[in-house]
């Protein structure tokens, strides 16, 4: 026998075996109720494991974000007008660079957060971020802002801008 005939016969046998197994599996899946229940249980178990892992990763990411915000607060922010302007420009450039690289979304969001902290009108800056910053980074930035009660942004955090004590009964 030639090797080409032997290889073709082996490949044909393997292919026939795979097709027979697929037909057997499909027949068993369609006719055996216990087998179907077993498949459903396995699928549910797998889905539950995936869901738990996603939740654990989300909790871990929130903790990393919380630590990043805490570090930024501990480092402090400039108070001098010229220092604020320079700091703002550096942080925005850093955030944009990190967004383009796509390496660390949390670091990019942290840079935008630091710029937001020194910007005189944070609401205006948020509307700019909304148009220019990638959605994933913007979501992380929203979590950072939510973790900082000292940063008042109004509509970005769900508060309304003019709803303060200033408007009660005074015309």
- Owning domain of residue 53: 8-76
| CA dist., res. 77 & res. 84, Å (int) | 8
Banded model confidence at residue 152, pLDDT cuts 50, 70, 90: low
Q: Are residues 70 and 139 in the same domain?
A: no
**Res 125: pLDDT:** 87
> pTM, whole model, 2 decimals?
0.61
Q: Are residues 90 and 153 in the same domain?
A: yes
- DSSP H helical ranges for the chain: 3-31, 33-75, 81-101, 105-118, 122-132, 135-146
* Res. 166: pLDDT tops 90: no
How large is the average pLDDT for residues 103-131? Answer: 88
Per residue in 91-101, pLDDT (tens digit) is: 999 999 988 88
Banded model confidence at residue 74, pLDDT cuts 50, 70, 90: confident
| CA dist., res. 42 & res. 36, Å (int) | 10
Q: Are residues 55 and 89 in the same domain?
A: no
Q: Which of 40-49, 86-95, 98-107 has the lowest mean pLDDT?
A: 98-107
Q: Are residues 83 and 153 in the same domain?
A: yes
Last residue of a domain, one of 76, 104, 125: 76
Q: What is the mean pLDDT of the chain?
A: 83
* Res. 161: pLDDT tops 50: no
**Res 168: pLDDT:** 40
How large is the average pLDDT for residues 124-153? Answer: 85
144 in Cβ contact with 65 (< 8 Å): yes
Q: How many domains are there within the chain?
A: 2
Q: Are residues 13 and 51 in the same domain?
A: yes
Any domain includes 169: no
């Amino acid at each position: 026998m030639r090797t080409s005939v032997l290889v073709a016969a082996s490949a044909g046998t393997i292919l026939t075996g795979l097709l027979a197994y697929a037909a057997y599996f499909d027949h068993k899946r369609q006719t055996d109720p216990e087998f179907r229940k077993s498949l459903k249980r396995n699928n549910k178990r797998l889905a539950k494991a995936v869901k738990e892992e996603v939740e654990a990763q989300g909790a871990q990411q929130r903790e990393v974000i919380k630590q990043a915000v805490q570090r930024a607060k501990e480092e402090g922010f400039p108070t001098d007008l010229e220092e604020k302007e320079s700091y703002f420009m550096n942080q925005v450039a850093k955030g944009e660079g990190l967004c383009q690289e796509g390496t660390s979304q949390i670091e990019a969001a942290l840079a935008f957060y630091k710029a937001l902290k020194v910007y005189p009108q944070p609401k205006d800056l948020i509307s700019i971020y909304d148009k220019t910053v990638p959605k994933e980074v913007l979501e992380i930035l929203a979590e950072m802002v939510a973790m900082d009660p000292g940063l008042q942004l109004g509509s970005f955090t769900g508060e309304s801008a003019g709803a303060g004590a200033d408007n009660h009964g005074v015309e």
